[in-house]
Structure 1
Amino acid sequence: MNDEVVSKLLNHREKLLGYVRKRLSSPELAEDVLQESLIKALRAAPDLRDEEKLLPWFYRILNNAIIDVYRRKHIETEHLEPYSEEKDLAITPEDEENLCNCFRELIPTLKPEYGELIEALDLNERDPKKVAEGLGITLNNLKVRRHRARQALRERLEETCRSCAKHGCLDCTCKHN
């Protein structure tokens, strides 16, 4: 029975693969889902009572596998997204040594709420969720405020430090160093 099931399913391979490809963005992922589903079908084939229902039964296996892919993507996105933002913003120890410290003197010249955000989030590395809760705002609102605070600081740096600020403020030649 197993050999018959496999050969019947393989006769429809292109049609089955096309079905999966329409539902998944990656052709490689579609191929993997089809292969895994074929393995599941092979294992469960002895329990199949009516061979005429083979294709509808296999489509159910494929649909479940596709749903599982989307569930995994959702979970990965939900749990890994916060870390990807932090990774992009990470400063290497070498950059930190060369970083211009002019910005520290400019923080008090910003709006008080901007200075407090930069101190809390960027310098003290406090948890954004806790900072947002403390301010009584949403996390999205905090992100907007943080962006505006950084933008204001950048503008102050460009006014004060000129060329070094536009190039990342590395190897600063300002008198404030």
Structure 2
Amino acid sequence: MLNHWQTHKDRLRGYIGKRVDSPAAIDDILQEVYLKAHTHLHQLRDNASLNGWLYRIAHNAIMDHHRQRHSHNELPDDLAAPQTDDAEQAHRELAQCLVPLIDELPERYRVPLQLAELQGLSQQQIADHLGLTLSGAKSRVQRGRQQLRQRLTACCDIEVGRGGVLDYHPKDPDCRGC
């Protein structure tokens, strides 16, 4: 087996050298490859795959080396908290609009929607609480969401992006919801 190691030594050193700058690190990684290969030799199922197996070990050792090199600086204690962005502010304001709009829904949809969205109950918990089947609870929550969406879009122009609601503007300043 020693002759196999010697056969691959120069090629592995070249492979590692293309990915690591320090000559001392190249030798350290090469030694680590040989140690790992020796201790895990029992996992090699076919000697014909020795070459690929050694390169996989070398690749992993190189990745470990690069991970260890990156230092992480601690953040200073006096670092100011980030200012709230416009999207977060729009979310908070829009959430305040939802409660009156939910309150306008028929009780059949309002109660399950409040339990799901405002109290955070699962749909199974809603079904148990209201004495409904699971599919009945899901249906009522879904229909409540649809009716809420209709009321919300009738009341406000909503700008939606990748992160959800970005901004909104009431269509009518006298709208009861907003």
**Higher helix fraction: Structure 1 or Structure 2?**
1
Q: Which interval holds the TM-score relative to the shorter structure?
A: 0.3 to 0.5
Q: Please report the TM-score for the alignment, with normalisation by the length of structure 1.
A: 0.43
**Higher strand fraction: Structure 1 or Structure 2?**
2
